[in-house]
A and B are shown apart, each in its own frame.
Chain A
Amino acid sequence: MKSAVVVFPGSNRERDMIAALEKIGGARPAVVWHAEAELPKVDLIVVPGGFSYGDYLRSGAIAARAPIMAAIAREAERGVAVLGVCNGFQILCEAGLLPGVLMRNAGLKFICREVELRVETTASQFTSGYAEGQVIRSPVAHGDGNYRADEETLKRLQGEDRIAFRYVGNPNGSIDDIAGILSEKRNILGMMPHPENLIEPLNGGTDGRPLFESALRAVA
């Protein structure tokens, strides 16, 4: 199983993501700089968290127009799995690979703590390792995690079973308590919480592990 982690100027969670993929998948992911036009042939592409371009303009907006994004869009269209976490989720939304937008947290504060998430669907390669309705722990660290979408988009997400995770106790004002969503073809997952930071007991828990295990199993 081959994976790639895409790095932008200002990414800061790529090391955690690389470590998680290597520990769980057994192979070190390729690290791809944002200015590249091509991706290596991989089964999983990850856009990690951070503050690409200092979150100037809008979170993820400038990164979403980087050369590598066209390659990610092409691979996603082919069905390759794409995971965007935190700033990665913002980038995928800004790039139009996922619907909606991440706005400033409703309380205006940067939130850095552990939250609880409910697994809303197991019908994806990222969530099949969980039980439906299972409540898991996950750290969050973001200022712009307030997911918004127009009514029509929200209805589609609900109707097509594309809400992957909801917050138990909404920390940022996200519409319908949404913490993570799937693309139409269900091969792209964007989420604000950081599952890569809870993959071994030393981190304080393993609740993030099934996400990577199921994604890795799906492509193995």
Chain B
Amino acid sequence: MKARVTVTLKNGVLDPQGKAIEGALGSLGFSGVNGVRQGKVFDIELTATDADAAKTELEAMAARLLANTVIENYRVEIVG
């Protein structure tokens, strides 16, 4: 089973990397960018066959290690 955990910064948390990317997009001539937030994607291969159990396990992985919940949100999905 393939799963994806997406980790993004919470709203209101300063994202200096996102800001730098936003600036770079502007200097490349992309004028319609209103803001950029940089996040992380983890593609995880699981041996589990039960999607619900897998999701519970992924939630625990995200909360314990993949995300720092002080500043980040995470989203867990089964992708195949």
Q: Which residues of A contact B (CB under 8 A)?
A: 57-58, 61-62, 65, 94, 99-101, 103-108, 146, 148-150, 173
Contact = CB atoms under 8 A, between A and B. Distances in A.
A94 B72 CA distance: 13
Contacts of B16: 103-108, 146, 173
Contacts of A105: 16
B17 A94 contact: no
B70 A101 contact: yes
Contacts of A146: 14, 16
Interface residues of B: mostly helix, strand, loop or mixed? helix
B70 A100 contact: yes
A146 B16 CA distance: 10
Interface of B: 13-14, 16-17, 20, 64-66, 68, 70-71
A58 B65 CA distance: 10
A108 B17 contact: yes
Contacts of B64: 65
7 interchain residue pairs of minimum CB distance: A101-B70, A104-B16, A108-B16, A101-B71, A106-B16, A108-B20, A101-B68
A61 B68 CA distance: 8
A58 B70 CA distance: 13
Nearest to A105: B16
Contacts of B17: 104, 108
Contacts of A99: 70
A65 B66 CA distance: 11
A108 B70 CA distance: 20
23 contacts: A57-B66, A58-B68, A61-B65, A61-B68, A62-B65, A65-B64, A94-B68, A100-B70, A101-B68, A101-B70, A103-B14, A103-B16, A104-B17, A105-B16, A106-B14, A107-B16, A108-B17, A146-B16, A148-B13, A148-B14, A148-B70, A149-B70, A150-B70
A57 B65 contact: yes
A111 to B, nearest CB: 13
Interface centre among A58, A62, A65, A100 (most CB of B within 10 A): A58
